[in-house]
Amino acid sequence: DNDRMIIAIDGPAGAGKSSVARKVAEQLGYVYIDTGSMYRAVTLMAQRARVTVEQTAKLADLVKSLEIELEPGEQGQSVFVNGEDVTALIRTREVTLQVSHIAANETVREVLGIMQRKLAERKGVVMDGRDIGSHVLPQAELKIFLTASVKERALRRYREIVDSQSITLAQLETEIAERDRLDEQRDISPLICAPDAIVLDSTAMTIDEVIHAIVKLSRTKLAEAK
């Protein structure tokens, strides 16, 4: 089916992946899949079960026991684990601080990678994450590596926080830089730009400009395939 493709959008935290991927999917009539939410869901469940990253066997059992479902919702996507809506619970700072450690586990990546490939089987998907174009779906017709300076990404996250008393901009910058480091340096499918990905630096771009650029690239790809 030449009319539906797979679009992979990878990049560091705060680059604009989810905001952009959701809208691109909407414009193309595709399904949006946020793979970061899956790593966050596993992290939440590990915290609840008091399973640490060091307990690799327990973590493997845990991830295999989870049924993760993604459903399109008003705020982009709702996430369910074993039937429970965890959409809001996976966005806490507690989860954010631990997710990159959990995401470095081999079995966690293997299990979630299988789920992600299944979700992309029917094509017509925009999937965002860290390793989608490089590892999970190397056959993706369009790969975008979306990035922005750490300062700009921290600022974007800062603006999202209503109660910014609880954390400073400098703190956010440090946490984002640390997550970048962990994601880039892990052994298994780290955050890297696939050789055939198109790099978009969104530091000085609005969300609409990025959406427009990606939709345009996808139309060019589709025309080429015909």
Rounded CA Rg of the chain = 17
Per CB under 6 A, the segment of 7-15, 25-33, 48-56, 58-66 that binds ligand CDP is 7-15
- Rounded to a whole number of angstroms, the minimum distance from the CB of residue 58 to ligand CDP is 20
Please tell me the distance from the alpha carbon of residue 143 to that of residue 52, in angstroms, as a whole number. 33
Among 5, 7, 8, 16, binds ligand CDP (CB under 6 A): 16
The answer to whether 73 is a known ligand-binding residue is: no
Among 44, 68, 115, 205, binds ligand CDP (CB under 6 A): 205
Q: Which residue is nearest to ligand CDP (CB)?
A: 36
Q: Which runs of consecutive H residues, i.e. helices, occur in the chain?
A: 17-28, 35-48, 56-64, 93-102, 106-119, 150-160, 169-185, 207-225
Please say whether the beta carbons of 10 and 133 come within 8 A: yes
Phi, psi of 185 (to 5 degrees): -100, -5
The answer to whether 76 is a known ligand-binding residue is: no
Residues 74-113: x/- map of binding to ligand CDP (CB under 6 A)? -------------------------xx--x----------
Establish if 23 lies at the interface with ligand CDP (CB under 6 A): no
Q: What is the DSSP string of 141-189?
A: SEEEEEE--HHHHHHHHHHH-S-GGGS-HHHHHHHHHHHHHHHHH-SSS
Q: Which CB sits closer to ligand CDP, 103 or 115?
A: 103
Per CB under 6 A, the segment of 36-44, 46-54, 58-66, 217-225 that binds ligand CDP is 36-44
Residue 46, Cβ neighbours under 10 Å: how many? 25
Q: Which CB sits closer to ligand CDP, 28 or 104?
A: 104
Establish if 131 lies at the interface with ligand CDP (CB under 6 A): yes
Establish if 137 lies at the interface with ligand CDP (CB under 6 A): no
The answer to whether 19 is a known ligand-binding residue is: yes
Handedness of CA 143, 66, 48, 103 (dihedral sign): negative
Establish if 13 lies at the interface with ligand CDP (CB under 6 A): yes
Binding site for ligand CDP (CB under 6 A): 11, 13-19, 35-36, 39-40, 99-100, 103, 129-132, 156, 160, 179, 183, 202, 205-207, 210
Residue ranges of the annotated binding site are 11-19
